[in-house]
Amino acid sequence: MSKELTLTVISPDKILYQGKAESVILPGSVGYFGILPGHATLVSQLDFGLIKLHTSGKEFRIAIDGGFCEVRNDQIRVLTEGGDSEDDLSHDHAIELLQEAEALPTSKEKENLLKKAKVRILLHER
């Protein structure tokens, strides 16, 4: 059995992450769940949230806007509608996104933009 996972996170715009991980935590549609090497085959819907991957004793985080994941043979593939890594945007920019979303009239779009902004803010909080 392998001691590492291979994680690929893809949005329509770019590959957000491609590499090895010792463990991965994903934002499932009914809550967060973890994946370790040797995990059973799985397909799951994902919600707005943070992907947390651990490798070499460090945690790396990626904000995603929902999507789907497939786990098979120690490979995790995530397809998401959008996302950012910690290096993609600053905490200040995330705050600006939240303020812009709060100024919008009530709608489904506003609700999704609020979720997106809040996840981007969490990306920078430890």
**Tens-digit pLDDT profile for residues 109-124:** 999 999 999 999 998 8
CA distance 36 to 124: 25
* Number of helices followed by number of strands (H, E) in the chain: 2, 8
Q: Mark whether 71 and 103 lie in a shared domain.
A: no
Give residues with Cβ within 8 angstroms of 69, minimum separation 6.
26, 42, 43, 44, 46, 76, 77, 78, 79
Tokens encoding 53: 């991957």
Q: What is the pLDDT of residue 15?
A: 95
Q: What is the pLDDT of residues 32-76, one digit of tens each?
A: 999 999 999 999 999 999 999 999 889 999 999 999 999 999 999
Q: Mark whether 47 and 77 lie in a shared domain.
A: yes
Domain assignment of residue 57, given as a range: 5-85
Q: What is the pLDDT of residue 1?
A: 53
Rounded to two decimals, what is the model's pTM? 0.91
Q: How many domains does the chain have?
A: 2
Q: Mark whether 61 and 75 lie in a shared domain.
A: yes
